[in-house]
Amino acid sequence: MKKNNLKKALHDSKIVFGPFLKITDPAVVEIMGFAGFDFAIID
């Protein structure tokens, strides 16, 4: 099973960063992942 890094960081009381996106293009979400964000919320 794949390890959930976001859950672990939250459990360890670490700060996590992520954008709210209105663009649903998968390439944009992938770029956000490569940019180092911990999560992306798509509206």
Q: What is the pLDDT of residues 2-15, one digit of tens each?
A: 899 999 999 999 99
Structurally, the chain folds into a number of domains equal to 1
Q: What is the dihedral of CA 29, 13, 7, 5, to 10 degrees?
A: 60
Q: What is the pTM of this model?
A: 0.67
**Domain encompassing residue 29:** 5-42
DSSP codes joined into one string, 2-41: ---HHHHHHHTT------EES---HHHHHHHHHTT-S--E
Q: How confident is the model at residue 1 (pLDDT cuts 50, 70, 90)?
A: confident
Rounded mean pLDDT, 12-40: 90
Task: Output the pLDDT for position 43.
Answer: 86
